[in-house]
Structure 1
Amino acid sequence: MKKYTLIVLLLVVLLAACSSGAASTVKEAPTLTATEPAPTNTPGPTFTVTPDYPPEGIGPVDFPTNVNPLTGLEVADAQSLAERVVAVKIENLPREHRPQWGLNAADLVYEYYTEFGSTRFVALYHGMAPEKVGPVRSARFFDIHVVQSYKAVFLFGSAYSAVYSRMWNSDISSRLVVEGSSTYPALYRQAVNGENMLFANLTQLPAALTKVGIDNSQQDLSGMFFRKTLDVSGSSATQVTIHFSNAIYNRWDYDSSTGKYLRSVDQSNAASAAEENYALLTDQATGEAISADNVVILFVPYSYYVKNATEEVMEVKMVGTGDALIARDGQIFPVYWKRETTSSMLTLVDADGNAFPFKPGNTWFEVVGTSSQRVQEGNSWRITHAIP
């Protein structure tokens, strides 16, 4: 790609606002309380595991040409995998902007704490190209780790100046896609309830990448290991709650009829667990419940790059190894996340260093601090994010 093509675009969005108006967190040590499971609406999966899924599993290397290495599932057209992964930054606050578009079409979604009680998502797409994804918002330091790990192109709205500088001086600089005449209509504006929002149309992205000279060739995505069944048993986990702040908390309820976890999210700020108010989250593009075959909690180091009365900028490290939990099939397993270098895919391993299998399907990663509290009460687990 010719860098000079994008410089003007990057400078234009550099001055855009980066933060959302989330309520500040009140630090509390909530007591785990019983909550009613979310309704078990059955989402309509795009892919299914075939009955003859290899018992030894698929991955973490040498994936068949027609198997998506991010889901372990066959795709109808292997040519759809002959492109880079697409990473899109999606907002989570204000609540009035929910439900978002296109989350259920993502193979992987990372949710992490950004600032002042808020979280945002990085959604990864490979082999699927939804026509509407968003609302698209601004980048953070953590996004660089995700884009590097999956060798993705990155669609985002703007960035804090220091974030922009680091991205532009990193190995992802040639894969940044921002709003402008060269990337329209892959990135486009639309008025929603009187607000001018940015969205991504991934069906239009290949043409835009060609236009701006971004390499869109297929990359090596070795790293994830998939098995339909497990040789080990975990702890029962039919409900997993992730508390990021008084403003952002979510709950994953296991639906045994589909084998998936369904996501319910905060409806109001809550100063304690007893005050939390949930509702099932849907995808505005389809009306289906947001669901995941795997819910992975990553415990990673957080620190403040900037912290004052008006600004919070988080530094989040995801290179090396650390604790993790994976919930699948109604059970939860203690594992470790591993990412040896900035160019390595994130993998899960057991205590002996062997690859731990994801269930074939989609995965949501909940990225919390290393000192986050974890509490089990019966079949329910509660993770309370803490920094560092």
Structure 2
Amino acid sequence: MTGERGARRPGRVLTALLCALTAAGLYGCSDSGRPEPSPTPTSTPATTPATKPPSLSPFTGLPARPAPVLAVKLDNVPAARPHTGLGAADLVYVEQVEGGVTRLLAVYSSHLPDLTGPVRSARESDIALLADFGRPALAYSGAQSALTPLLRAAPLDLLTESSAPQAFQRSARRPAPHNLYLRPGRALAAAPGADDARDIGLRFGPAPPGGTAVARSTVRYPAARYTFTWSAADHAWRVAMDGREARATDTGPLTPETVVVQRVTVRPSRFHDKFGSVSPYSETVGTGTALILRDGRAHEARWSRPSPTSGTTFTTPDGAPLPFAPGQTWIVLAPRA
């Protein structure tokens, strides 16, 4: 007698014996006298397989699912502030433009805000800057006519108000041209070929030894000024632009965990704006020095990017990788001294 379903009913004596064995946990017994089936024995594995670690964003060092990359060119004159959606960006690049002011290039992948802006026009520097992202989507308001063929030839999924009108909207609360905003979710829906986030050379981890304790660091452009003040309460840097705290309308103060002051050559480009001012070009391919701000300390570093399609690495002066603090990173493309 095996106790399996479908076996013939045993005699009363054997039934009583099986029910007695039930108390020892060997068989089950029902009111009808039919023994319940014996549970299938399970074996305990000799070793427990290791749990697969969560996927980490190559842009923040934090857990994130693989997702497409959306870069958005943002206005940054005083009339364009405060921004919307900037706190959700993985990376924020600061670039010099005409007149010595700056614009921002916000890169999204881990999180998408409902709205971001104000959106402004692209520059030649953006093409090389984004080349190591594979084929990201780039949302912008337009570009100088002579630059448009270069943008179209670049590995970019281009999104403008004319090509993806459903992704853009105008705000009645801002005067033009500072009133164009983007809906990132709709933007990526209009750019199905955009590549997922990939390694662009950044490394994240514990703070390196050394460095200098700093409470505040300032970067100056011809007509703009950025100050990064360490906040122990936020464990991040509070951003000020032109002497005023920088905020996002949806998330409050801007507080990146890491700030990179990347010293680059800023030279005239072949292009100019509608007023005839020559557009600056920030060279992000090559080598140079940088200052890495993290955990309330400043670390001197070197940066290297051999080609437009290779990532940018940041190392200590003796060549060891210099990790960033996990979280949002601002990369300030500052003119070489």
The amino acid of 2:190's aligned partner reads A
* Residues 1:202 and 1:171: Cα distance change in structure 2 (over 3 Å): closer
Match of 1:236 among 203, 213, 218: 213
Deviation at 1:314, TM superposition (A): 1.3
Q: Secondary structure at the match of 1:365?
A: strand
How far residue 67 of structure 1 moved from its aligned partner, in angstroms, is 1.2
Compute the displacement of 1:347 (Å): 2.0
Q: Report what 2:247 is aligned to.
A: 282
DSSP-derived class of the 1:291 partner: coil
Alignment deviations for residues 15-50 of structure 1 (CA, whole Å, 9 cap, x no partner): xxxxxxxxxxxxxxxxxxxxxxxxxxxxxxxxxxxx
Matched with 1:87 is 71
- What residue is the counterpart of 2:314 in the other structure? 348
Q: CA deviation at 1:304?
A: 1.2
Cα deviation for residue 146 of structure 1 reads 2.3
TM-align CA RMSD = 2.1
Residues 220 and 91 of structure 1, relative CA distance in 2, 3 Å threshold: same
SS in 2 for 1:241: strand
**Which secondary structure does the structure 2 equivalent of 1:142 belong to?**
helix
Q: Which residue of 2 aligns with 1:299?
A: 263
- Residue in structure 1 matched with residue 103 of structure 2 by the alignment: 120
How many equivalent residue pairs?
282
SS at match of 1:143: helix
Q: What TM-score comes out, normalization by structure 2 length?
A: 0.78
Once the 2 structures are TM-superposed, how far is the Cα of residue 71 of structure 1 from its aligned partner? 0.5
Matched, 1:256 2:220: no
Q: Which has the higher contact order (CA 8 A, sep 6+)?
A: 1
1:72 and 2:50 correspond: no
What is the TM-score when the length of structure 1 is the normalising length?
Answer: 0.68
- Quick one: structure 1 residues 360 and 219, their matched pair in 2 at CA, closer, same or farther if it must change by over 3 Å? closer
Q: Which letter does structure 2 place at the counterpart of 1:130?
A: P
- The 1:192–1:255 alpha-carbon spacing in structure 2 relative to 1, beyond 3 Å, is same
* 1:143 Cα deviation after fit: 0.8
Matches within 5 A, 1:155-170: 155-170=139-154
Mark the runs of 5 or more structure 2 residues left unpaired by the alignment. 1-51
Identity across aligned pairs (percent)?
28
Does residue 198 of structure 2 align to residue 198 of structure 1? Answer: no
Summarize deviations over 1:322-342 as a string: whole Å, max 9, x none.
111101111111111111211
- CA deviation after TM superposition for structure 1 residue 103, in Å: 1.0
**Conserved? CA contact 1:104–1:290, under 8 Å:** yes
Question: 1:193–1:136: structure 2 CA closer, same or farther, 3 Å change rule?
Answer: closer
CA distance 1:342–1:65, change in 2 (3 Å): farther
Change (3 A) 1:109 1:162: same
**Which ranges in structure 1 are unaligned for 5 or more consecutive residues?**
1-62, 267-277, 373-388
Tell me how far 1:203 sits from its aligned partner.
1.8
Q: Could you tell me how far apart the structure 2 residues matched to 1:159 and 1:134 are?
A: 17
2:191 aligns to what SS in structure 1?
helix
Give the drift of 1:106: 0.6
Q: Are 1:208 and 2:185 counterparts?
A: no
